[in-house]
Amino acid sequence: MSVLLEFAMFPTSDNCREGASVSKQVAKIIDAIDKSGVKYQLTPMGTVVETNTMREALDVIELAYEQIKECERVYSSLKFDIRHNSEDRLKSKIKSVENKLQREVNK
């Protein structure tokens, strides 16, 4: 099974922000995910992780929250794409689209 989880998590409270920037707090989250060994991809609007189970995906969310739990208020949004009999979709989904784009160019 492949569980793709796209999420954004950041503080909205003044006690954890430097002006409008939340990059310091987001960097804490990304560092923890990187150290955990979970496959991930950072994007400008969030982070995508791939796990083998829903429990592992939810554990990533808990790990992320633990990095900024001292913040008075935290915003988070989550999206899941769960597929059985599949793996390595963090890369293969992008490759599939790129292949189709290439075919369109070659027509």
Q: What is the pLDDT of residues 28-85, one digit of tens each?
A: 999 999 999 999 999 999 999 999 999 999 999 999 999 999 999 999 999 999 999 9
Confidence of residue 9 (pLDDT cuts 50, 70, 90): very high
Q: Which of 80, 26, 77, 94 minimizes the C-alpha distance to 51?
A: 80
Q: H or E element: which one contains 7? A: strand 2-11
For range 94-102, the mean pLDDT: 92
Domains and CATH numbers, the chain: 2-105 (3.30.70.930)
Confidence of residue 105 (pLDDT cuts 50, 70, 90): confident
- As a whole number of angstroms, the distance between CA 71 and CA 14 comes to 8
pLDDT at 18: 86
pLDDT at 39: 97
